[in-house]
Structure 1
């Protein structure tokens, strides 16, 4: 039995080392991807209408993160003028950074696919399992499993497949040309404690067409540090927003 456990242990150590080596090689280069939940098409306009009111909010747990200046510069490079008065601008661009940090790939995809307005959160997902069985052979399997888990833990401590993400909701209002108006209808359910609530609805006219989408950027690399990922995540967001105009 001891010989069998020794052979299983050696095999597990080899496999754990091979798996760690594979991750280290395949993920050695930084991979950054940006995806938009919904396509937005803005009408082409002349130079006199290339004006934007820009408002960027950050409700993530990284309050010091700022991209206002970079987004403004990217839009100005494309020939747009930023105005301080939203009533005077042809476009009103509003963005809210919802989440920035380490995430699981499946959580990132779900947050993007769910689209604008759905709560998004990211977190590192850790999982571990162990099987135990009774009897002498069961104890041997359990011992081998524990040793295998230890081997994987040692390999994983040195080689980590790390994902960071940035999830942002984006709303763009485009002024309607001529005398046209859009009708906006909204319904809200407001809770009052645990026993009741109220319904609020309103209708109004608007001078804007409204578009909403969600932008998700991911950065992946073995043993990736947040300081290395953040500039690339910001670049993905900036390129996506400026690319709409």
Structure 2
């Protein structure tokens, strides 16, 4: 019969070997480094301008619940570093950059990918390994211990991704003699069943472009504080890179 201390040693060693191929440990190894991506929904190409027209008016907002995301100062610094001048009066600026951080969401990819029974599966796997050792009460103890270790190991690993969505609009002044017709349609609700359609048409002197920037940060057990700086760097690069 296997002694109690030998039994525990065998169980732990066996679990280490088996867990090397389980989902939790596989995720922790593959996702140990922070991965950040920033993508635009559409490319914006602006007309080249002379040095005296390299002026920018910034209007940056953040309506998400992550108010610590302050990107006004770093975006301004990145734009001025490229030789542009920031102005307070929008009428004196050749370019307008208007943006709003719409939302920042957190998800666990292990759950999203359909693995909602991770803890249950890990318990079965751990218990199965534990049941291979000892007999009688020793076998029962090993099974219970194996199951608990499986649950604890799996619970310690979350495949976290943060997704930040930013809406961006760029406006550039049209060349002299060029005018743009802008049409705005709106449907306004009237009570629970009625609605009112509203349309306005005006001639403007600016061309407008819109895109959406999606930034993602992914790592095992990632916290927002760890992801925040990298998410902002990607956003700043995308916004200043348009000019």
Same fold (TM over 0.5): yes
Matching residue within 85, 98, 116 for 1:128: 116
Q: How far did 1:63 drift?
A: 2.3
Aligned counterpart in structure 1 of residue 218 of structure 2, from 217, 220, 238: 220
Say if 1:151 and 1:77 are closer, same or farther in 2 by CA, change over 3 A: same
In structure 2, the partner of 1:184 is 182
Deviations 1:99-147 (A, max 9, x none): 1241366xxxxxxxxxxxxxxxxxx8586359xxxxxxxxxxxx959x7
Residue 195 of structure 1 aligns with which residue? 193
Q: 8 Å contact 2:20–2:26 — kept in the other structure? A: no
Query: 1:179: how far off?
Result: 1.5
Among 168, 175, 189, the residue aligned to 2:166: 168
User: 1:78 aligns to what?
Assistant: 82
RMSD in angstroms over aligned alpha carbons? 2.7
Partner residue of 1:88?
Answer: 92
Partner of 2:45: 41
Question: Could you say which residue in structure 2 is the equivalent of 1:21?
Answer: 25
SS at 1:159 equivalent: coil
TM-superposed deviation, 1:14: 3.8
Structure 1 pair 150–55 and aligned structure 2 pair: CA distance change class (3 A): farther
Rounded Cα–Cα distance in structure 1 between residues aligned with 2:124 and 2:224: 36
What is the CA-CA distance between 1:153 and the residue it aligns to?
A: 4.5
Q: TM-score, normalised by structure 1?
A: 0.75
Q: Aligned with 1:103: secondary structure?
A: strand
Which has the higher Rg, Structure 1 or Structure 2? 2
1:78-157 matches, within 5 Å, as: 78-103=82-107, 125=112, 128=116, 153-157=151-155
Q: Which runs of 5+ in 1 are unaligned?
A: 1-9, 106-123, 131-142
Number of residue-to-residue matches in the alignment = 205
Segments ≥4 residues shifted beyond 4 Å: 124-127, 147-153
Greater shift in the superposed pair: 16-25 or 214-223: 16-25
Q: Does the residue aligned with 1:241 lie in a helix, a strand or coil?
A: helix
Structure 2's unaligned 5+ residue stretches are 1-13, 129-146
The DSSP-based 3-state class of the residue aligned with 2:93 is: coil
SS in 2 for 1:227: helix
